[in-house]
Amino acid sequence: MALSRMIASLLLLALPGTAMSGAGAPADRPGSNPIIRDKFTADPAPLVVGDRLYLYVGHDEAQRDEMFNMKEWLVYSTTDMKTWTPHGPIMNVRDFKWAKQDAWASQTIYKNGKYWFYAAVEHDKTHPGKAIAVAVSDTPTGPFVDAKGSALITNEMTPKGTHSWEDIDPTVLTDDDGTTWIAWGNRQCYIAKLKPNMIEIDGPITEITPPHFEEGPWLHKRGNLYYLTYASLDRTTQRDEHISYATAPSLKGPWTYRGLLTGSGKYSFTIHPGIAEFKGKSYLFLHNATLAIGDQSGAIGRRAVTVERLYYNADGTMKPVVQTQAGVTAPGR
């Protein structure tokens, strides 16, 4: 390379913001991380419907050093994992008349011709603490309406819990026999069966807390193995949440701890897994806090959703995942 061109290239790399954002560089490629750039988003929850993948997220609107400010859930979709179509807000937390605030982690599942949306919210003063809401829609993009008119799970239903925000972050899975299960929690992790009507718990709530469980459980099944992937925090060695997982031969356990799946999300205390199989490939959705919009930088309450390919070993264990900027645009992904 000629000296003048080399000097020009070095000068370009030295300019703030240019190193990774030149035309064709990873930051500009459709599908590179973070995948949503015009809004701060968190707690990704994918749902595959035919040849389209829908991604439900919480909308982070924290100002300055506010911790969280989340009023609504948004949905995006893709057919190629590279270009994302926004479908707008699907619900505001105040659409649940009994809820006060906090549009926290959610998951949508399809069953019996309807889309069922489960989400963590703060209950009003009639049931202090966090609660789990359920809404329903005829389409994956809404409109969703409160399906029950009251909380599906309240803090009083898990009396052994150590704090009032333990009932958050629902994840739902329909088993091979057609029964749908819900798992959730913070510090304690619980699982219960749902009645066929999808808006009532059927039978006991069982605690299944795996090692270093913090929050954000995600249930999925592959082959004969069930996976419980979650945000973990080893309080003796880690400052920020990582992702760990456990596996079991059935939703009733026993669960075997499999260790770490990923490290922490860059600049973010929280991290949250969402797993989907789409067009023959497996994906792990996460969030970090690397996005800046205007003069607002990433922060604990201004996160950004990412996606990486997920690979399995022959014994069903998942290969460790590293959060990258190139994400699914990296060669061979």
d(CA 297, CA 32) in angstroms, rounded, equals 19
Q: Which of 60, 214, 215, 308 is catalytic?
A: 215
The reply on whether position 168 binds ligand FUB by CB under 6 A is: yes
User: Which CB sits closer to ligand FUB, 72 or 175?
Assistant: 72
Given the DSSP bridges, would you call strands 130-137 and 145-146 parallel, antiparallel or unpaired?
antiparallel
Query: Of 221, 230, 328, which Cα lies nearest the Cα of 283?
Result: 328
Question: What is the enclosing helix (H) or strand (E) of 11?
Answer: helix 3-14
Report in angstroms how near the CB of residue 130 gets to ligand FUB at its nearest: 9
Residue whose CB is less far from ligand FUB, 112 or 297 = 297
How many residues of this chain bind ligand FUB (CB under 6 A)?
A: 13
- What is the distance between the alpha carbons of residues 91 and 133, in angstroms, rounded to a whole number? 12
The DSSP code for 26 is G
- Minimum CB distance to ligand FUB smaller for 34 or for 58: 58
Q: How far is CA 270 from CA 85, 177, 275, 289, in A?
A: 25, 34, 17, 9
Using CB under 6 A as the binding rule, whether residue 55 contacts ligand FUB is answered as: no
Binding to ligand FUB by residue 146, rule CB under 6 A? Answer: no
Residues 35-54 that bind ligand FUB (CB under 6 A): 42-43
State the binding string over 242-271 for ligand FUB (x if CB under 6 A, else -).
----------------------------x-
Q: Any contact of residue 300 with ligand FUB (CB under 6 A)?
A: no
d(CA 190, CA 203): 13
Binding test (CB under 6 A) with ligand FUB, winner from 120, 219, 251, 275? 120
Residue located via tokens 């029964």:
179
Judged by CB under 6 A, the residue of 122, 166, 215, 308 near ligand FUB is 215
Task: Give CA–CA dist 261/269, Å, rounded.
Answer: 16
User: Looking at beta carbons only, is 213 or 227 nearer to ligand FUB?
Assistant: 213
Of 244, 235, 315, residue with least CA distance to 273:
244
Q: CB of 301: closest distance to ligand FUB in angstroms? A: 8
Q: Closest separation between CB of residue 288 and ligand FUB, Å?
A: 11
User: Out of 93, 105, 136, 304, which residue is the one contacting ligand FUB (CB under 6 A)?
Assistant: 105
What would you report as the CA-atom Rg of the chain, rounded to the nearest whole angstrom? 20
3-state DSSP call for residue 8?
helix
CB of 42 closer than 8 Å to CB of 270:
yes
**Can you give the binding site for ligand FUB, defined by CB under 6 A?**
42-43, 58, 68, 104-105, 120, 168-169, 215-216, 270, 272
User: Which amino acids are annotated catalytic?
Assistant: 43, 215
